[in-house]
Amino acid sequence: MTRGRRIAVAGVLTLATIVLLVAVLSTWVKRQVLDTNNWTNTSSQILESKNVQTALGAYLVNQLFTNVDVAGQLQQTLPPQFQALAGPAAGGLRQVADRAAPRLLARPRVQDAWRLANENAHGQFLRILNGGGPVVSTGNGQVVLDLSALVTALAGDVGLGQKVSGALPPDTGRLTIMRANQLKTAQDVAKGIRHLSIIAAIVAFALYALAIFLARGPRRRLTLRTTGWCFFGVGLFCLLVRRMGGDWIVDGLVRADSVKPAAHDVWNIGTGLLKAISVAFVIYGLLLVAAAWLAGPTRSAQAVRRALAPSMRDHPGRVYAGVGFVYLLVLLWGPTPALRHIVPILIIAALIVLGVELLRRQTAIEHPDAQSGDATANLRAWWAARRGHPAAGAGNGHVKELERLAYLRDTGALTDDEYTKEKGLLLQS
Q: Encode pLDDT of 153-186 as tens digits.
A: 877 777 766 666 566 777 777 777 666 666 667 7
Question: Cβ neighbours of residue 51 under 8 Å, at least 6 residues apart?
Answer: 261, 262, 264, 265
- Residue 267 in domain: no
- Residue 248 in domain: no
According to the model, what pLDDT value does residue 399 have?
A: 65
3-class secondary structure per residue, the chain: CCHHHHHHHHHHHHHHHHHHHHHHHHHHHHHHHCCHHHHHHHHHHHHHCHHHHHHHHHHHHHHHHHHCCHHHHHHHHCCHHHHHHHHHHHHHHHHHHHHHHHHHHHCHHHHHHHHHHHHHHHHHHHHHHCCCCCCCCCCCCEEEEECHHHHHHHHHHCCCHHHHCCCCCCCCCEEEEEEHHHHHHHHHHHHHHHHHHHHHHHHHHHHHHHHHHHCCCHHHHHHHHHHHHHHHHHHHHHHHHHHHHHHHHHHHHCCCCCCHHHHHHHHHHHCHHHHHHHHHHHHHHHHHHHHHHHCCCCHHHHHHHHHHHHHHHHCHHHHHHHHHHHHHHHHHHCCCHHHHCHHHHHHHHHHHHHHHHHHHHHHHHHCCCCCCCHHHHHHHHHHHHHHCCCCCCCCCCHHHHHHHHHHHHHHCCCCHHHHHHHHHHHHHC
Single pTM value for the model? 0.73
Summarize pLDDT for 218-266 with one digit per residue, the tens: 888 999 999 999 999 999 999 999 988 888 888 887 878 888 889 889 9
- Residue 293 in domain: no
- Residue 140 in domain: yes
> Domain range for residue 395?
374-428
Amino acid making up residue 209:
A
Closest alpha carbon to 192 in 274, 277, 272, 129? 129
The percent of residues in the chain predicted with pLDDT above 70, rounded, is 83
Is the predicted pLDDT of residue 354 greater than 60, yes or no? yes
Between vectors from CA 169 to CA 164 and to CA 173, what angle results, nearest 5°?
95
Is the predicted pLDDT of residue 135 greater than 50, yes or no? no
Number of C-beta neighbours around residue 36 at 10 A: 15
Domain end marker among 187, 222, 237: 187
15 vs 387, higher pLDDT: 15
- Residue 397 in domain: yes
According to the model, what pLDDT value does residue 411 have?
A: 66
- Residue 369 in domain: no
Please report which confidence band the pLDDT of residue 91 belongs to, taking 50, 70 and 90 as the band edges: confident
- Residue 247 in domain: no
Amino acid making up residue 374:
D
Domain end marker among 127, 152, 187: 187
Domain end marker among 165, 187, 209: 187
- Residue 266 in domain: no
Instruction: State how many domains the chain has.
Output: 2
